[in-house]
Amino acid sequence: MGATTLITVAPTGAESAKADVPALPVTLDELVQTAKECEAAGAAVIHVHIRDDDARPTLDPSRLRDTVTALRESTGLIVQLSTGGAVTDPYEDRLRVLDAEPDMCSLTCGTVNFGDDVFMNPWSFMVELYERTLELGIVPEFELFDLGHITSLRRLLDKHGLPYGGHVHCDLVMGVPGGMPGDARTLVAAVEALPEGATWSATGIGRTSLPVLFAALSAGGHLRVGMEDTVTFAKGRPVTANVQLVERAAQAAHLAQRPPMPPTEARALLAIEP
Ligand code: KMH
Ligand code: ZN
């Protein structure tokens, strides 16, 4: 078990509408402000989805580039762009995300029912995205929504070798309606199935957020929190800013005697160039 806890913030996502969730950061200014606050509160990685001028999810290449640049200029956070996008995004657009040259990108290891929708990640797409990360020198974070995704991750590593930098880092995304449940026994089962030497974080969607946070800390893992995953701080209390969730995660990490990991240490762990 490591001595510190890597905290990733996922501030926006592609699912919530600004009209329904006014605290959601959707402009570049809002995102940069959020990133600064979350870094000060203990986050080391930011998982980024961006929005267009109408606050709708977009994978526009020049906006992505501007976002990476702005986050680098304003923070020391590791910038991880989402290649998942929204469920409606075509594969070509999702592949093109890497052209924005982030430090990291998400790489989901299989298709999953996603509420009423389907989040498509067929094997051929996974392989193409993985090969591109290797070519471009971008470190992937393997997103695992279900136990079967771990089988596909192992197959990917067997057939195509280790990721850029040589270290495998995963994120268990739990509690999606259609994916694995967000509870302690499923988390333990998933962690036991991970490739040897892999590090991992976990996040619980919606009301599974806290059970997964506590289970992950207890099992020696890292944390992802943010309004992509939950917009409710407690029953009847909406999240008013992402930093609330990061502060709570940092407090829990301190209590667990594994305080938040600074971005420099996170870069070394994830084999990301300084
Ligand atoms: N928005 C979801 C369909 C990722 O960022 O890579 C997919 C997602 C995963 O959020
Ligand atoms: Zn995402």
Global ipTM: 0.99
Residue 1 has pLDDT above 80, yes or no: no
pLDDT in tens, 131-144: 999 999 999 999 99
Residue ranges and CATH numbers for the domains of the chain are 7-270 (3.20.20.70)
pLDDT of residue 272: 97
pLDDT in tens, 206-246: 999 999 999 999 999 999 999 999 999 999 999 999 999 99
Pocket residue to mutate for ligand 1, from 58, 82, 227, most atoms within 8 A of Cβ: 82
pLDDT of residue 5: 98
Assessment of whether the complete model's pTM goes beyond 0.90: yes
State whether the beta carbon of 12 lies less than 6 angstroms from ligand 1: no
Residue 91 has pLDDT above 70, yes or no: yes
Nearest one of 257, 245, 176 to 220, comparing CA atoms: 257
d(CA 245, CA 224): 10
For the purposes of burial, counting CB atoms within 10 Å of the CB of 59, is it exposed (0-12), middle (13-18) or buried (19 or more)? buried
**38 contacts: CB under 8 Å, gap ≥ 6:** 9, 11, 46, 77, 242, 243, 246
pLDDT in tens, 34-90: 999 999 999 999 999 999 999 999 999 999 999 999 999 999 999 999 999 999 999
Nearest atom of ligand 1 to the alpha carbon of 106: 6
